[in-house]
Structure 1
Amino acid sequence: MAKNQSIPPYIFPQTQSTVLPDPSNFFSQNLLSNSLPTNSFFQNFVLKNGDQPEYIHPYLIKSSNSSLSLSYPSRQVSSAVIYQVFNSDLTISSKQGSNEKHVISSYSDLSVTLDIPSKNLSFLLVRGSPYLTVSVTRPTPLSITTIHAILSFSSNKSNTKFTFQFNNGQTWLLYASSPIKLSHTLSEITSNAFSGIIRIALLPDSDSKHEGVLDKFSSCYPVSGEAVFREPFVLEYKWEKKGSGDLLLLAHPLHVQLLSNTDDDVTVLDDFKYRSIDGDLVGVVGDSWVLETDPVFVSWHSTNGVKEESRDEIISALSKDVEGLNSSSIKETSSYFYGKLIARAARLALIAEELSHLDVIPKVRKFLKETIEPWLEGTFHGNGFLHDNKWGGIITQQGSTDSSADFGFGIYNDHHYHLGYFLYAIAVLTKLDPSWGRKYKAQAYSLVEDFMNLDSRSNYNYTRLRCFDLYVLHSWAGGLTEFTDGRNQESTSEAVSAYYSAALIGLAYGDPRLVALGSTLTSLEILGTKTFWHVEEGGTLYEEEFTKENRVMGVLWSNKRDTGLWFAPAERRECRLGIQLLPLVPVSEAVFSNVEYVKDLVEWTLPALERDGVGEGWKGFVYALQGVYDNEGALKKIRSLKGYDDGNSLSNLLWWIHSRGDTNDDE
């Protein structure tokens, strides 16, 4: 969200966290005065020793011991997990200088520049580039090693292109901006002193057409890339490039789906492909791409409305649920579970509004004021929001001293989840009481900006789009934690709900820019969810062995697809379904709009409910989706439930069931 000049910035009380890592270990000094990314595609490069790999399509990249290794990963597949295997196909370093750590000298939405100053090497890592681009900043003898055996080695007459084949079947091409003298042993290639640009690419197969493509575009290299929200539901990629000729990059399946058909400046090379855990990557030629997503129209209430004959049943449940609201009885201090409680209450108010049963709203409004204000005013006992200026963002009091508290919120885990629940409740209360909303507008917008800020150059308090990944087009939840498989996200539905809730904040405050940004990110997150998390029967994105046994993902990683959950094994299918549905809100319709898929998912899940000890809350979410195609059967099961998820209620389940389908029987 661009900074709104009418809203004075609100900064929660400053704190010095005792658990956050020191960013100065890997970021260059010129970057440390700005807020820094905490969920980025290159996060492993700046954590601990900085030596865990990151997936920068189509290669896994690893930096250690003053060298950079790249791998065109193979894939291991079972019915439970898919993961890419890192092997050091090529390791690039120089023969001079001391062994010193790398430095991040610049980064953007679509790129990161990793320098090894002691080796005179600068790696321009641009997402989706089939070439690894290396800038050798002064005359330096180079070393390229491999774990494989070099079977063949050849060059063109000008010594600006080299081809080498390994005993694992791979063929690599090396292009130099000026003649370079290379020699080799069985596993190492060395050069004389060279300065300039080196580009290295794997030849995806032996087809001479593919080598011709790589030859043709080898002289033009991207330096950085930005993603620009040009207008609602339109995202443009713009690359800064150097060299000569046209720019070749790779698009994953969701890119291809969204690429504008009217953009004559872009050419898709359908036959030029690299494999990827995210689906085949295809070549795209062009300096900028325009991606257009279908609109999602954010609203407070259900699309179809509640069936008139069902109002009495919902109102009966609503009266009981509202009667049970008591702010003084809340013992919860976790930002996540507390957020779920207040969002649950906010749902009751909107259900009452949709049913025109306004008598219960004053009690809900009172509850929301009593529960939200202490967090916004810094008077909540046992926890609260604080500001960290080391990385730039909101953390919690508990999280400032305990990295595991609040599910790691203090080390920037799950920010969109937690804050999304708070924003939902704040948006509803602002709708009900505009004067209250005006009083706390600055605090509300600070919560929004923590994970929705777009103004990275002038906003020193919050990083740019903390969770949303503008290349893969969905969010990541893992914060400042080093993982071998990179970033991860479990609950797509909570991510969708976060951007939806931010759009509701925009509606509540009459801010069309925030409505547009929130709606656009909601639409993209939904598409990412359907593409990568929803596993449809007969789908071809993942291998048949995995697809046959699964209908929904557990945790999705940059470099892995896992059926297990953080909190439950893969066998608990009801948990896998539920964590991809909660919270149950109007936008859930858009996430689960494919009725055939919903039916397959529920039928795949139902046998798991026969286990002893299955939680009633999880059953409720399964039955809610059953209601999409079997309204009466699901309603009967929901009426028999003995409990509900702490962010859900009988009122909300009945509202969902009774708002499926047409509202007018005569139509």
Structure 2
Amino acid sequence: MGVKDLKHMFDRLDLHHKKPEKYSRPKFPTPKDNNDNIFAKPIATGQPPEIFRRVQHNQLPVGCCCQESDCPIQTNNFYNNLTLGDQTCPIWTLPYSLWYTTDPGQVPGLAFNHTEASQRVFGPDPDAKTAQYYFNPPKIKSFVLSGENFTDIKLSLENHNKFSVTALLSNSSGGRVIIPLVQGMGYITSIYQNVKPLISSQVGFQEFSKCNNVGDLKKYKVMLFNQVTWSIYVQGDVELSLKDPNTIVGDRPGNNTLIQIARGLSQDYDDSAGCYQERADISANVSGSKGTYKLSYTTKGNSKCGSGLVWCLPHHQEVLIEKTKESITELVLDSPTKGEMKSYKTNELVMEEQLPVDITWEPWSSFSTNNGYSDHAKDLIRRAAQEEANQDIVGMANIDSMYTSGKILDKFAYIAYVCHYILQDSDLTEKVLPRVKQAIEIFAKNTQQFPLVYDRSWKGLISSAEPGADFGNSNYNDHHFHYGYHIHAIALAAHIDPDWLHSNDDLVFNYANTLLRDTASPFADEFFPESRSFDWFHGHSFAHGIFASGDGKDEESSSEDYHFAYGMKLYGIIVGDKSMEHRANLMLAIMKRAMNMYMLYTNDNKIQPAKLIGNKVSGILFENKIDFATYFGRGTIGDEWIHGIHMLPITPISSFIRSPKFVKEEWEQKLSGIVEQIPDGWKGILMLNKALFDPKSAWDWFSSDNWNPALIDNGMSRTWSLAYIAGVGGY
């Protein structure tokens, strides 16, 4: 995310210090002690280390309680827009979008809509064969949940959870509308208390009719003026009627009156109406190389089929177990950016993935086996290591950016790894490793230029730099990118010297654990939220922190996302935390499936629109749009920055995610024609990525006698590049 983008976001936010609002919020439940559940064991417990100064964030969450004793609030997931600014940017529970509306002269309340693929807007030239972007029209008010004389309402949020939050619309007269918001929820559900229901529509109601009751539920059919039909179910004494073409009203105040609305008409709605989701929780177990993960929905109410209705995405649908598949319905709705969603009459989604258990430290690719290193290859690698080992490791790493310093640390930790394990050169190892450790310990002691601080408001570990600096780290942008490099570097160094991790009273061990608690805690505790970065429903992480956005959360670097999970896996191996290792493997397996549907496009991709496939990568993937771009530009020559940000860094896990088929197509269709003109480090990134399908030509380039170090990224080394390429068959 670029500085200009951050400044634009700040213009939309009230960053002045505010007194936190008071709401009663219960503590998060700790998962039951289940030895088979890989989410049951914490990374660590207790206060973050005292070296991280405690602060109150200068941008407090809106509509939430955020005292030090309160539980953490999610910063990078689907509902975060409701905690920011004026709370009016949309959120996506999928397949529906919802937003708080306070537009002058219109009915206030919680609005919602569903858009279908035919409504997508492509640009900038809508007639181009390959579009740069598409987006779904936002804020079409199909419905607005409100109440009669509900003019002085406010929106607050309760029951914060990774997959859910409860929205509460209330007024000074004691009226309340409770709206549970859960990822994948089948209906828009509202519970009315002491307020007469009023449901508005800016699209307008062309037809409104009452149908036969479904058990104790009143059923209504509504057709809007856009010719889209919806079903409404009511449980309680309230009767609905059409007041005018834009307004449906109830005949009396609700007394815990349940109103559920869903797009379309279906027997499956009749079967599952009356039951609604309040929250969801994840659990998983691993057997061998198979990981089974479950999203369990906590529900209220009753239905004919005995369960609620849940929507799931294409990457879920491929791996659902048979029992879950049997509960499929006839209903299909488009998601904004992730293809068609299907619905299931169930209270749990259970999925199975094959895990990359065999990919650990050594160079790996999906098409070759590491058969060792020839003497000539080792000689070239050694010469590169000798040259790069002379660089000022400590000085290069001790800079003002957690992100860039992490890349530097990782670069030299990989050089140390190559010297120790591949070259088996103790002299070179001793030349590099102590300085890598020294550089890491600057951060472990929190004595870098901008030390990290512990934020008591949102609950997290953030940079003490200004919010516009370091890619927005202090406002929770990109934590998995930044901290992933540090964790991976620590794992590499500790792999060489395991005792170092626990020296100096567990200095580095505690540092790494705190970074992981911030980004990937298996469950929420008193000090950190559950899984801040990775979204277990979407199948990838979101990098976008506490900045309001009209198109929702986003991510522009798929590769730094899975690099984080890979570093977490290696660290789990080092410290003997099998649950952490299993969670990381499960994340990687899910990412492989999801990213190749939503972010990395082979020619036969069936999820994204045909007009986008030619870009080969998503660029920035938002909840509501895809833009073939980056926050920092397109490239010096062509679009190499957009492609390269989905490549770096190249590690043994890269080939697991980026198949030879995809990499070859991307190279031939987008990169081969521009690579020779690239004058900077992005060329090295593209050339090392080429080793994922053609390691021999990549070897020829990196082993050239006319080597130019200006052509590799500052987070890359020639040492590791040669070692990786030779290890996957390049020499």
TM-score of the superposed pair, with normalisation by structure 1: 0.91
Q: The residue matched to 2:120 in structure 1 has which SS? A: strand
Alpha-carbon shift at residue 40 of structure 1 (Å): 1.5
Which residue of structure 2 aligns with residue 178 of structure 1?
236
- Give the letter aligned to residue 556 of structure 2: E
Aligned partner (choices 369, 386, 394) of residue 327 of structure 1: 394
Contact 1:161 1:175 in 2 (8 A): yes
Of 689, 697, 708, the match for 1:633 = 697
Residue 499 (1) aligns with residue 541 (2): no
**Which of residues 168, 176, 180 is equivalent to 1:124?**
180
**Partner AA of 1:69 in structure 2:** A
Which residue does the alignment assign to 1:110? 163
Is the 1:31–1:105 contact (alpha carbons within 8 Å) kept by the matching residues of 2?
no
Q: Cα distance, 1:518 vs. partner?
A: 2.1
SS at match of 1:645: coil
2:74/2:160 contact within 8 Å kept: no
What's the counterpart of residue 248 of structure 2?
Answer: 189
Corresponding residue number in structure 2 for 1:279: 339
Structure 1 residue 30, shift from structure 2 partner? 8.9
2:98 is paired with a residue whose SS is strand
- One of 75, 92, 96 as aligned partner of 2:149: 96
Q: Which residue of 2 aligns with 1:206?
A: none
Deviation, structure 1 residue 59: 1.0
1:292 deviates by: 1.5
Distance 1:580 1:11, change over 3 A: farther
Which 10-residue stretch deviates more, 409-418 or 183-192? 183-192
Q: 2:639 aligns with which of 552, 573, 584?
A: 573
Offset at residue 7 of structure 1 (A) = 8.9
1:230 aligns to 2:285 (yes or no): yes
The percent identity for this pair of structures is: 22
Q: 2:398–2:439: 8 Å Cα contact kept in structure 1? A: no
Describe how 1:360-509 pairs up with structure 2 within 5 A. 360-380=428-448, 382-398=449-465, 402-439=466-503, 440=507, 441-456=509-524, 459-509=525-575
Preserved CA contact (<8 Å) 2:398 2:442: no
Counterpart for residue 670 of structure 2: 605
Residues 158-178 of structure 1, C-alpha deviation per residue, up to 9 Å, x if partnerless? Answer: 581111112211111110013
What does 1:281-300 align with in structure 2 at a 5 Å threshold?
A: 281-297=341-357, 298-300=359-361
Structure 1 residue 658: deviation in Å?
1.3
Checking the alignment, whether the CA contact within 8 Å between 1:526 and 1:590 is kept in structure 2 is yes
Structure 2: unaligned runs, 5 residues or longer:
1-38, 103-107, 124-130
Moved beyond 6 Å, runs of 4+? 5-8, 29-32
Secondary structure at the counterpart of residue 242 of structure 1: strand
When residues 8 and 301 of structure 1 are mapped into structure 2, their CA distance, relative to the original with a 3 A threshold, is farther
Structure 2 contact 66–458 (Cα < 8 Å) conserved: no
Aligned residues: 643
Q: Which residue of 2 aligns with 1:3?
A: 42
Coordinate RMSD, CA, aligned: 2.3
The yes-or-no answer on 1:22 pairing with 2:60 is yes
Per-residue deviation, 1:12: 3.6
| Per-residue deviation, 1:533 | 0.7
Q: Output the CA distance in 2 between the equivalents of 1:530 and 1:41.
A: 21
SS at structure 2 position matched to 1:143? strand
- Look up the SS of the partner of 1:424 in the other structure: helix
CA distance in 2 between partners of 1:312 and 1:386 (Å): 45
Q: Alpha carbons of 1:535 and 1:104: their partners in 2 closer, same or farther (altered >3 Å)?
A: same
| Distance 1:31-1:190 versus aligned 2 partners, 3 A rule | farther
Shift of 1:662: 9.2
Residue deviations 1:21-69 (CA, integer Å, cap 9, x gap) = 112x311479961122111110100001111001111111011335010
Structure 1 residue 521: Cα displacement: 1.9
CA deviation map 1:271-302 (0-9, x unaligned): 42001121100111222121212111241111
Say if 1:61 and 1:71, in contact at 8 Å, map to a contact too: yes
Question: Do the aligned partners of residues 319 and 215 (structure 1) sit closer, same or farther apart at CA in structure 2, a change above 3 Å counting?
Answer: same
* Equivalent residue, structure 2, for 1:160: 218
Aligned match of 1:68: 110
CA contact (8 A) 2:144 2:200 kept: yes
TM-score by length of 2: 0.84
Moved more, 551-560 or 32-41: 32-41
Q: Distance in 1 between matches of 2:513 and 2:88?
A: 36
Distance 1:11 1:615, change over 3 A: farther
> What amino acid is the match of 1:54?
I
**Structure 2 residue 115 is the aligned partner of structure 1 residue 57:** no
Q: Partner of 1:249 in structure 2?
A: 310
- The aligned amino acid for 2:404 is F
Counterpart amino acid of 2:153?
A: E
Name the aligned partner's letter for residue 570 of structure 2: L
Q: Take 2:271 and 2:517, find their aligned partners in 1: how far apart are those partners?
A: 43
Structure 2 counterpart of 1:207: none
Number of the residue aligned with 1:652: 720
CA distance in 2, matches of 1:446, 1:332: 21
Deviation at 1:564, TM superposition (A): 0.8
CA distance in 1, matches of 2:329, 2:383: 57
Q: Match for 1:246: what amino acid?
A: S
CA contact (8 A) 1:52 1:62 kept: yes
Q: Work out the CA distance in 1 between the residues paired with 2:627 and 2:650.
A: 24
Q: Indicate the residue corresponding to 1:530 in structure 2.
A: 596
Deviations along 1:213-258, one digit per CA (max 9) or x if unpaired, are: 2112112221211112334732211111122222211111001112
Report how far residue 534 of structure 1 moved: 0.4
